[in-house]
Amino acid sequence: MNMTNLDAITSTDQLPVQARTHWSASDIPSQHGRLAVITGTGGIGFETALALARAGGEVIIAGRNAKKGADAVARICADVRSAKARFEQVDLASLESITDFGTRLRSQHKSLNLLVNNAAVMNPPDRQETADGFELQFGTNYLGHFALTLQLLPLLCLGRDARIITLSSIAARNGAINFEDLQAERSYKPMRVYSQSKLACLMFALEFQRRSKAGRLGIASIAAHPGISRTDLLHNAPGRWSGTGMMRTFLWFLFQPASQGALSSLFAATSPLARGGGYYGPARLGGMRGAPAEAAIPKRALSLGNASRLWEISERLTGMKMLVPGPTEM
């Protein structure tokens, strides 16, 4: 596929034949013997964890809220009697919490097969900050997952057919990395900042793949987006009575179920057809719904210079670098 024409693709009819798919959860290959970490206790994250557990995988649901995490695990175990599922607490808005989480997992496991960077916050009406002083959406959606990935990298390097799946959004199409005001200190517009964070996630997935290949790490980094799905994200972040929250409430029929939205992540995480450096999302209605297929990569995500610059800034902000020691040495 010609990369320069990717952003012009908006529907299944425009996708090349080999990119079309009717892939569903029934196509997930056996996950027995594989360990996955999924961030987020509800919505797309929960459905991803549930499907992996149904396929025989061991899943760790990682999130901030212990009660929601326990509820998610209980629901999975009620659905899958033989499920190997547990909750681990991590706050993606705190570098200290992310470091503690990484330390725990490296002491508990010898390897990791799958990391799904899924959790997100969306459109808080007023600018908020993480525990480390980052703007909340950029700090949680992007920098938190950047740091988490580097913390778990030693385990991933030892995992068979290891994959990192990073969730972007169709909002990334309108995103731009404002290097002069990454933390939106001068001007905060919720949707613009959310779009920037999701563009950064996509750029991170692509840049990690380049670095993985150059370093011969054997880890596939793949991006995905869920289209427009019925989750609590729009309700919880901007509020039920905001413009986006009301759209979710009253135009619910335009949104596909979370289980359908999770298929893009699951395809990227499990399908032999998913490739490192790929980007997958729903095939229909301009990427809003449908079975997973190859998605259009916005031109702004393809700038190698901006990706390298963003990576270097992220290392400086988080204090973490792409080092690959043994699992107990970091």
Q: Give the side-chain half-sphere CA count within 13 A for 7.
A: 9
SS3 for 198? helix
What does the alpha-carbon distance between residue 120 and residue 146 come to, in Å, rounded to a whole number?
Answer: 13
Q: Which of 91, 79, 39 is nearest to 60 (CA)?
A: 39
What does the alpha-carbon distance between residue 182 and residue 118 come to, in Å, rounded to a whole number?
Answer: 21
Q: Which of 142, 194, 279, 280 is catalytic?
A: 194
Token representation of residue 67: 């009660």
In sequence order, what are the residues at sequence separation of 6 or more whose Cβ sits closer than 8 angstroms to the Cβ of residue 328? 106, 107
Residue in this structure with the two tokens 């916050």, named with its chain if needed: 121
Q: Residue 11's Cα: distance from chain center in Å?
A: 22
What does the alpha-carbon distance between residue 261 and residue 9 come to, in Å, rounded to a whole number?
Answer: 19
81 touches 64 (CB < 8 A): no
Is residue 194 among the annotated active site residues?
yes
Helix (H) or strand (E) holding 11: none
Token representation of residue 112: 């990791």
In sequence order, what are the residues at sequence separation of 6 or more whose Cβ sits closer than 8 angstroms to the Cβ of residue 214? none
Q: Which of 134, 138, 123 is nearest to 232 (CA)?
A: 123
Q: What is the DSSP letter of 296?
A: P
263 touches 280 (CB < 8 A): no
The residues that are catalytic are: 194
